[in-house]
Amino acid sequence: MTDGRGLVVVVEDDPAVTSLLRLYLTRDGFGVETYGDGSTALHAIAAHRPVAVVLDIGLPGTDGIEVCRRLRAAGDRTPVLFVTARDDEVDRVLGLELGADDYVTKPFSPRELVARVHAVLRRARPEVEPATRTLGAVTVDVERRRVWNAGAEVALTATEFELLAHLLRQPGRVWRREELLGAVWGYSAAGGSRTVDVHVSQLRSKLGRTCPIRTVRGVGYAADERGDLP
């Protein structure tokens, strides 16, 4: 079923959690399709092209990490929000490195999860800002949400793009990690600054030595033509 806000695919093997997510997402105007295993979900995501995927890590068979890996390997940039019952940073970081956009840890508030879905959708949708920003070798086309590095286009996730574009809005300004969480992810969370670090690491991996992000030790990050080069 698809409603006014678009279809969200929920991949979760716990029937109680599935029912709760369906209830809250439907109340908020989303259509919801639910699946209990990763393999079935992969086929459904390809067929239905949802606006977002809520993906449990601990699925039977093909787990959530592998589902996300296959989606990204196939070029599918649908926003993914991981749900994990394991309260350890390894799963969170691994998920974000795979191209997931956010995560929540069980037990979670259904209202918070719905708010997180809205946040990743805001980051994924084009903003009305017809401008191109260039810093060093990197050019960001905000209107078309495309990025070039030394003339070659670079594929970024919605969150990676939003973080890079945000930093390039004010070159030289130093942003604290907590400020970036609020501006890009739409929330602040104790201990959540690692999320920012992971996405900066991914941007550096994709943009290489020309990545225009400088680390300000003990504070956060800034856009700088030289990045972290000596």
Q: pLDDT averaged over the chain?
A: 85
| CATH number 3.30.390.30 is the correct assignment for the domain at 132-223 | no
Q: For residue 61, name the pLDDT band (cuts at 50, 70, 90).
A: confident
Q: What is the pLDDT of residues 79-94, one digit of tens each?
A: 999 988 776 656 666 6
C-alpha 77: how far from its chain's center? 9
State the pLDDT at residue 187: 65
Q: Helix or strand or coil: residue 106? A: coil
In this chain, the answer to whether the domains covering 7-124 and 132-223 adopt an identical fold is: no
**How many Cβ atoms are within 10 Å of 192's Cβ, its own excluded?**
16
User: What distance in Å separates the CA atoms of residue 51 and residue 37, rounded to the nearest whole number?
Assistant: 19
State the pLDDT at residue 218: 86
Q: For residue 193, name the pLDDT band (cuts at 50, 70, 90).
A: confident
User: What distance in Å separates the CA atoms of residue 78 and residue 157, rounded to the nearest whole number?
Assistant: 9
Helix (H) or strand (E) holding 183: none
Proportion of the chain above pLDDT 90, given as a percent = 41
Q: What is the pLDDT of residues 135-190, one digit of tens each?
A: 999 999 988 889 999 989 999 998 899 999 999 988 888 998 888 888 888 765 54
User: What distance in Å separates the CA atoms of residue 3 and residue 15, rounded to the nearest whole number?
Assistant: 22
Query: Which residue has better confidence, 191 or 113?
Result: 113
State the pLDDT at residue 203: 94
Q: Is the pLDDT of residue 2 over 50?
A: no
Q: What is the pTM of this model?
A: 0.62
Residue at 37: amino acid letter: D
Q: Tokens in use for 60?
A: 């039977």
State the pLDDT at residue 190: 46
List alpha helices for 3-126, DSSP H. 15-27, 38-48, 64-73, 89-97, 110-124
Q: For residue 130, name the pLDDT band (cuts at 50, 70, 90).
A: very low
User: What distance in Å separates the CA atoms of residue 167 and residue 179, rounded to the nearest whole number?
Assistant: 11
Q: What is the pLDDT of residues 101-113, one digit of tens each?
A: 888 888 888 898 9
Among the ranges given (7-11, 82-86, 162-166, 220-224), the one the predictor scored with the smallest mean pLDDT: 82-86
Q: What is the pLDDT of residues 29-58, one digit of tens each?
A: 898 999 999 999 999 999 888 999 999 988
Fold of 7-124: Rossmann fold (3.40.50)
Lateral strand order in the sheet of 31-35: 31-35, 7-11, 52-56, 80-84, 102-105
Greatest Cα pair distance in the chain:
54
C-alpha 162: how far from its chain's center? 9
Domain segments of the chain as ranges: 7-124, 132-223
